[in-house]
Structures are given as structure tokens and as C-alpha cells.
Amino acid sequence: MSDTCTTANLAATLNNLNMSGTISYDATESTAIPPGDVGLYQLMNQLISEVSTLKATIKTNEKTLIAKLKADNDGTTQLDNSIASRSAINEGVTNDTRGGLTSDPAAKPAIITSTTAKHNLSEDAVFDIFSGITHLIMKLNNDGDVNGAAVAANCTTT
């Protein structure tokens, strides 16, 4: 590993940190977040915004689920298939029974819902996604190492 860098790489790094291109909701990562236009700080701010919006959505749906639970009198809560009250379609892979959940996605309420119902996610599905993302960020914040784990399979050092 070298302790020097070219002036061009130093300037490009500073430029990359501060670029301000357009982030969109396109289907592919490279078109939604064009690496030649979007800066790292911009991307980090977008991530924070997206997570905040997602948390607010989950909190809203949680209130609906609490109301459903309060109205329950027979041990089975009827979900009305509204945006805020649907069964999950997708569940977690690793943590699908965490906290006493059953492994049947249709028996779980969705905490993130979509208008088409095909992307309804249970709490354990969202937990799986966020635990992976969070652990990767924890590694980045700890010299790329959390108890000996490498930063990421697709990152290399020279």
C-alpha cells in the first residue's frame, strides 16, 4: 500500500465528494445514482432522507396496527387490505421468526406497503435489510473491521 497519491487523484477525490448531480427513482442503481454526476455527500444526504421517510411511514403504519390490536377480541386481527393494513408478501430470510414471529408471511402484517401490494414487507424483512446495511456502515466506521469482518466483498485495497 502506498502512502502517496497523484495530484490528479487528490483533486478528483475532492470533486467526487462534492458533485451535485441528479438522483432519481430509476430502476437501476447506475441510472438512479449516476456515479459520474452524484457526489458522496449528496448520496449520504439522500440516504439519510430516505431512511427518515421510511421510518415515518413505518411509524404511521405502526399506529394503524396498534389500533387493530386494541380492537381485537378473538386473537385474530383482520387486516383490511388498505395501504396501512395488509398482510406481508415478503418476509425476512435470516430473521423470519425473530421475536416470536411465525414463518408464514401472509400471517404477518406488512410494515411497508405498496399500492400494488406486491412489495409489502414484514418487520423481519425490513430488519434483514437494515441489519446488513447497518453492519456494513459499522465496519466502515471502525477501520473497516468489526470483530475481524472484512468491509465488503466488492471493495478492494491496493
For residues 74 and 116, membership in a common domain is answered with: yes
For residues 18 and 50, membership in a common domain is answered with: no
Query: What band does 157 get if pLDDT is binned at 50, 70 and 90?
Result: very low
For residues 60 and 132, membership in a common domain is answered with: yes
Range of the domain at 50: 43-158
For the chain, what is the domain count?
2
For residues 17 and 65, membership in a common domain is answered with: no
For residues 87 and 33, membership in a common domain is answered with: no
For residues 7 and 79, membership in a common domain is answered with: no
For residues 93 and 65, membership in a common domain is answered with: yes
pLDDT tens digits for range 60-91: 989 988 988 888 888 777 777 665 567 777 66
For residues 22 and 51, membership in a common domain is answered with: no
**Percentage of the chain lying above the pLDDT 70 cut:** 83
For residues 61 and 108, membership in a common domain is answered with: yes
For residues 14 and 53, membership in a common domain is answered with: no
More confident residue, 8 or 114: 8
**pTM of this prediction exceeds 0.95:** no
**Residue 52 · residue 96 · CB < 8 Å:** no
For residues 65 and 114, membership in a common domain is answered with: yes
For residues 33 and 62, membership in a common domain is answered with: no
